[in-house]
Amino acid sequence: MKRDRQQQEILGEAVRNAFLKLDPRIQWKNPVMFIVFLGAILVAVLAVRAFMAGNTQEGWFDLHIDLWLWFTVLFANFAEAVAEGRGKAQAESLRKARKSLQAKKIKADGSFEIVGSEAIRKGDIVLVEAGDTIPNDGEVIEGMASVDESAVTGESAPVIRESGGDKSSVTGGTKVLSDWIKVRVTTNPGETFLDRMIGLVEGAKRQKTPNEIALTLLLVGLTIIFLFAVVTLEPFAIYSGTVISVTALVALLVCLIPTTIGGLLSAIGIAGMDRLLGRNVLAMSGRAVEAAGDVNVLLLDKTGTITLGNRMATEFIPATGITAGELADAAQLASLADETPEGRSIVVLAKEKYGLRERDLTHLQAEFIPFTAQTRMSGIDIVDARIRKGSMEAMQNYVSELGGAFPAEVRSACENIAHQGGTPLVVAKDKQVLGVIYLKDIVKGGIKERFSELRKMGIKTIMITGDNQLTAAAIAAEAGVDDFLAEATPEAKLKMIRSYQQQGMLVAMTGDGTNDAPALAQADVGVAMNSGTQAA
């Protein structure tokens, strides 16, 4: 329904723009249709003269021809307007996302009021709780929270944001997953991250494809040839004593010149765009659909494109003296109430690998401990034990406070997992460390073979990710891409795309976050993965 409504809006705007494009300053950019445009004006003048002279038969003939000429021009304008409307819809969707954000603005008496993000000004303080979206860029001045920044960085793993230090900066459009923070806004409306994304989308320049340039030159050449051919018919007619009206000559010229190709080029592109859109491929202009077949470089956002998008448990690594089954049993218990993809994957892995089924927790007097940004761990308290899972640093502090020791082999396992691009999750029962859960960003099945096929076709594949160099290198090697760009920002993506385009290459870009919107707009072909960004 939402897509249908957007299509109707684009078509309605295209009808209006079809008439606005009758401006001669716009028409002359398409030589073939400019000839038709001039012919429509000339025949309209002739029709008026015929009616004024009382020659109604000739006048109706001229009017009939003129209506078809204007219809041809307007249809070509309409097709072009639809193609342009799709690109403009990207920036507009980002504007709507910005306007829809609500904020809890803190008043002088400590209470808060709900206001739109456009009413927030630099220096205002807002409260952002679990489930809320941060309305504007700012600095955390109080509290600590887990924040999903995937819309900004493209990285699925949440990050901790707290007051003080280098982890206090937050970006408008990101979402708080747990706890709460108070944010002092540092930007005014029009200066936020989303505004910067809109500016980058609207400022993106799209190059013409080689096929489009060659076809344009061919159409111009054919138009000139047939124009001379039609002009010479009048002297021959006079010589043979035959009268040919100017309207008939104009109609003949329009029929001879490649009007159909010139007028329907955008319409053909739109038909191709609709077919591609059904496969989540966005051609960035109606005339550049053929770019999908001429792509030289394919840039792929890692999270959700090359990988599944969520970290999944792949292995239980027990500490000395602990069996893998014991570690899996404790890890599953600690994850039964964890609704995150990571938590669910731990339960599934324990069930599939060690046959551990869901158990009745009533007699265990279980109390689940949710994850918080302060503790950076979660778990369960049962009748005779406390089981926790969390990051290495958090679990090291937890065990130390209880008087336990953190095994050297567990620390080494955590470091090895990190070097391989994974995420270690330590499990402890009371003050004893049981081992490590290996969380991994899973590369999609068959992706390496697909990249190999693209390489044979002469297409270079480049992975783009917000991960650090070490993690990016590990995943790039596993996926089999030709190159990668780590710690990528929206500006870095644009710079890379423009660099390849300046070398005469056609670039395709895949993405699924708001941070990918400018790159999708700059690329010759954009591919929206999964649910994608609103701009996609």
Residue 3 backbone phi and psi in degrees, to 5: -65, -40
Instruction: Tell me the C-alpha to C-alpha distance, in Å, between residue 233 and each of 6, 230, 242, 246, 517.
Output: 49, 5, 10, 11, 54
Residue 360: count of CB within 10 angstroms of its CB: 7
Quick check: 330 and 429 in contact, CB under 8 A?
yes
What is the DSSP code string of 290-337?
A: GGGGS--EEEEEIIIIIEEEEEEEEEEEEPTT--HHHHHHHHHHHHTT
Please name the helix (run of DSSP H) or strand (run of DSSP E) that holds residue 423, with its range, or none: strand 423-429
**Catalytic site includes residue 301:** yes
**Range 484-487, long-range pairs (CB < 8 A, 24+ positions):** none
Which one of 195, 301, 441, 467 is the catalytic residue?
301
| DSSP designation for 244 | -
Alpha-carbon Rg for the chain in angstroms: 32
* Nearest by Cα to 27 from 286, 285, 284, 262: 262
- Between the two ends of the chain, the Cα-to-Cα distance in Å is 17
Residue 66: count of CB within 10 angstroms of its CB: 23
What is the DSSP code string of 376-416?
A: -EEEEEETTEEEEEE-HHHHHHHHHHTT----HHHHHHHHH
Instruction: Give catalytic residues, as residue numbers.
Output: 301
